[in-house]
Structure 1
Amino acid sequence: MVFRTEALPAADRIDYWVELMGRTHAPMELRSEHTDDFRASQRVLDLGEVTVWSATYQPLDIRRTPKLIRQSDPEAYHLSLVVEGTGTGEWRYRETEYKPHDLIVTSSSLPTDFRSTTGPVTILALETPKDLLPLPRDMAPRIVGAPVSARDGMGALLARFLTQLTADTTAYQPSDGPRLGTVLNDLVAALFAHLLEAGDCLPPETRRQALTLRIQAFIREHLHDPHLTPAAIAAAHHISTSYLHRLFRDEDATVAAWIRRLRLEAARRDLTDPALHALPLHAIAARWGFPRATDFSRAYRAAYGTTPKEHRHQALHGHE
């Protein structure tokens, strides 16, 4: 989806942009010295639960107030890669200047005040639901507003992927969206874990949560590997298997059950994807770490009350 204020009368543009931001992101207050002829554009990519967009706009003051948060909170983390323009971001806990090649992390649940100092401003951004990144609320202030460079390390890895993704989408099919969203979400989880672990003298609980985030991102990245076991995960992170199980005590499943659930959810997406209708069931099973089709079918029925074959037939028949 592409939105451009130039398609509207000049007097209506800033109000339109305020309404658009409220619908695609969250309600916010916007002020600009260019209200007589405000120019802005936004291109939105729907990647399942993750949303990505690129936007260019004239200098703005953007505020997310406690009142607006009480009115509507999508419960999401927002990451912006600054391509052009400079400004400042102010939160209850810190104030940060931003410039090109910076990554800005914000939360829809925390008051925010952005001020553009030079423009136009161009950003590449993503928004991901908080429930996909199980970060305790008391740790969010450690990440929100923290300066992150996109020139090296985890920030550069995320920025390169985001830049390549938004540069040209012609090579992707609609069914690729959720998969790309999963990759982005894993990169965000890894970045958050890195930021938490990089803090000086962090309390043990914070380091434990950061490690859990990193392990969960690792699991999502290796779901296809049939040898992804608790022992293998523990070894890859230089911890004992018993400690790994303790990390997952606060989750809603054991490590093995968590892996199985993610694999079944991924297989379920493939089964309902018309672009993969010719892919054999055993290939989908193997693709998501089930080398034995019978094990896959048994686990699928236990989770969803139907066999993979029946579910695929119902989904594709309905699609047709």
Structure 2
Amino acid sequence: MQVLINTDDVPAGERFGLFRDAFLHELTPAEVRCDRPTGFSGRVASADLGLVTLLTMSTRNAGPGELVRDPKLIRRSDPEGYRLTFNQRGSSVLTHNGHRSTLLPGDFTLIDTSRPYEWSASGTNDSLVVRFPRELLRLPGAAVHRLIGAPLCGRTGIGALLSAAITRATRDFDGYRPGDVLRASTTLLNLLGGVLAHELDTHTALPPESHREVLFQRIQRFIQHRLDDPTLSPKTIAAAHHIAPRTLHLLFQDHDDTVAGYIRGRRLEHCRRDLGDFTLRERPIHAIAARWGFTSAAHFSRTFRTAYGLTPQAYRQHSLGRPMR
């Protein structure tokens, strides 16, 4: 990860000023306040995953402190994004979007950069932040609004899965190959969407369009986990979710897609990834196709060439740097 701020690199009397100035010139500027600036130390590092940015932030021996983003700073710069913040160490209080939430270690919350907030912490605090554009979250804004600023649990269930994935991605980032970066960000966004959909599903007063979007997210996850099943079909998917096949097709039509097209696209993505994986270079192409639900090698070859402009064999040779014959 790239270190953006490390106050240990400057004399003690300049540390808080360095930290404060960096936040005022950040992409989403905020004012930093501290009761005991002379005892302050802080560190911020980032990792760019393309679709998302990971940030780690630590403060030490600071006493009570605040991070404030007010309307004036929002007018100065607003990327119109979300920040998912995990509280790893220490306790903090967030006032945002009508909520006043106490965050303990293992809790997380969603921040909308277009809305003012005040974040306060007492003394030592560590947090992880996932920053991403608003449009990448495929959930209705009106529904997500209910969760902005609310405390969410990352210690159990799917929340714990997301917490572990973000922690691992932050720790392992420096060892990622270029192709791994996009895969990691896609995985994190899918998990994040699943967590928020789960939280929305616990609310009973959602409007009909929100229920449809939550159902669509659940069906997408169901398909992703069963791509290796050659019997996966609109009929089996509809039955598993207790809806009519027509309702299933209409859900995908709302997103300018078809059920079969979505399944085929996800299977092809996995096959393309495996064909470009050096560790799988000895695995036969037909075995990779079968692994992801393609029962006919000839059909897979035609479908792959239509999608990517190369046969599976030519794509593998090109990706692994071998001369194409």
Corresponding residue number in structure 1 for 2:111 = 106
- Matches of residues 59-138 of structure 1 in structure 2 within 5 Å? 60-66=65-71, 69=74, 73-74=78-79, 76-108=81-113, 110-138=114-142
Corresponding residue number in structure 2 for 1:300 = 304
* Cα pair distance change 1:28/1:239, threshold 3 Å: same
1:231 aligns to 2:235 (yes or no): yes
Distance, in Å, in 2 between the alignment partners of 1:188 and 1:27 is: 21
Give 1:214 deviation, angstroms. Answer: 1.8
Corresponding residue number in structure 2 for 1:56 = 58
* Cα pair distance change 1:244/1:115, threshold 3 Å: same
**Structure 2 residue corresponding to 1:142, chosen from 143, 146, 162:** 146
Distance, in Å, in 1 between the alignment partners of 2:74 and 2:275 is: 38
Corresponding residue number in structure 2 for 1:261 = 265
The Cα RMSD (Å) is 3.4
Distance, in Å, in 1 between the alignment partners of 2:308 and 2:213 is: 30
Give 1:45 deviation, angstroms. Answer: 4.7
The answer to whether the Cα contact below 8 Å between 1:2 and 1:43 also exists between their aligned partners in 2 is yes
2:244 counterpart letter in structure 1? S
Distance, in Å, in 1 between the alignment partners of 2:88 and 2:129 is: 10
Distance, in Å, in 1 between the alignment partners of 2:76 and 2:278 is: 39
Percent pairwise identity = 38
Normalising to structure 1: TM-score of the pair? 0.81
Give 1:114 deviation, angstroms. Answer: 3.0
Distance, in Å, in 2 between the alignment partners of 1:76 and 1:220 is: 26
2:156 counterpart letter in structure 1? D
* Cα pair distance change 1:218/1:249, threshold 3 Å: same
Question: Gapped runs of 5+ residues in structure 2?
Answer: none
Distance, in Å, in 1 between the alignment partners of 2:237 and 2:261 is: 14
- Matches of residues 159-170 of structure 1 in structure 2 within 5 Å? 159-163=163-167, 169=172
Corresponding residue number in structure 2 for 1:31 = 32
The answer to whether the Cα contact below 8 Å between 1:189 and 1:214 also exists between their aligned partners in 2 is no
* Cα pair distance change 1:82/1:304, threshold 3 Å: same
Distance, in Å, in 2 between the alignment partners of 1:246 and 1:156 is: 33
Distance, in Å, in 1 between the alignment partners of 2:23 and 2:281 is: 37
Question: Gapped runs of 5+ residues in structure 1?
Answer: none
For the pair shown, the structure with the greater C-alpha radius of gyration is: 2
Normalising to structure 2: TM-score of the pair? 0.80
The answer to whether the Cα contact below 8 Å between 1:87 and 1:114 also exists between their aligned partners in 2 is no
* Cα pair distance change 1:12/1:171, threshold 3 Å: closer
